[in-house]
Structure 1
Amino acid sequence: MYSIDPTPNDIAKELAKRHKALRKQLKISQAELAERSGVSLGSLKRFETTGHISLESLLKLANLLNRLQDFNSIFQAKDDMSKIEGLFTTNS
C-alpha cells in the first residue's frame, strides 16, 4: 500500500536530521551534548543515525537545546468544531 503521509519512521528520521543540524549550528559536539544532557553518547549517535531514541532521552536533548516547548502541543485535543459548524448549517 502506498501513502503520501509520512510513516513514524520517516518522522523519526526527519527529527534526527533536524536535531543534528541544530546541534551543528550551535557548534556542540556529540560528546559535549551527551555529557551535558545526561543522554549516553551511544544513544545520541544512534538517534542521529537512525532516528531511534527513547522519549525520555529525546526530551532531555530538547531541553538542553532549549526546544522542550516544541512538545507542548503534542496530543492536545482539538477544539470541537461541530458546535461551530452547527451555527452555519440550515435545516431546509
Structure 2
Amino acid sequence: MLPVELQSPKEIAGTIARRARALRLHRAWTQQETAERAGVTLASYRRFERTGSISLDRLLRVAVALGAYGGLEQLFAPPPAASLAEMARLEASESRKRGRRRDAKP
C-alpha cells in the first residue's frame, strides 16, 4: 500500500472504507446494526463500504459508532512550533484572518 501522501482522494476513501468494514466485522456487527448505531441509513453505510463515498457528517457518525474517532482532532491541526520564538509568533497571529477582498467590477 502506498503512503497516504501518494494516494489519490479516492484511494484514501477506499482505504478508510476497508478499515471501517474490518472494524465492523471485528465487532461482529452487521451493516444494519452499524448503520443504526451511527444514525445513518443502511443504504448510505453500504455505499460507503462499497465505494468509500460518504458525507463528512456521516463519516464522523460511523467513526464514533465504531470507536475509531481518535486522531480526528489532528486532521487540520497547526504544525508544531520549532522554537519558543515561533510559538510566540503563532500565538500572536491566532486572531481571525480574512482573505483579501476583491474590488467589484462594474
Amino acid at match of 2:20: H
Q: Extract unaligned runs of 5+ from structure 2.
A: 85-106
Matched with 1:88 is: none
Aligned pairs, number? 80
Deviation at residue 79 of structure 1 after TM alignment: 1.7
**TM-score, with length taken from structure 1:** 0.80
Letter in 2 for 1:60: R
Percent identity between the aligned chains?
Answer: 38
Distance 2:38 2:32 in 1: 10
Give 1:35 shift: 1.3
Q: In the alignment, is residue 13 of structure 1 matched against residue 8 of structure 2?
A: no
Greater RCO structure (CA 8 Å; 6+ sep): 1
1:65 matched to which residue of 2? 66
Q: Which residue of 2 aligns with 1:47?
A: 48
Q: How far 1:70 sits from its partner (Å)?
A: 2.6
Detail structure 1 runs of 4+ shifted over 4 Å in the superposition. none
**Per-residue displacement from partner, 1:7-28 (whole Å, max 9, x unpaired)?**
1111000000000000001000
RMSD of Structure 2 on Structure 1 (CA)? 1.5
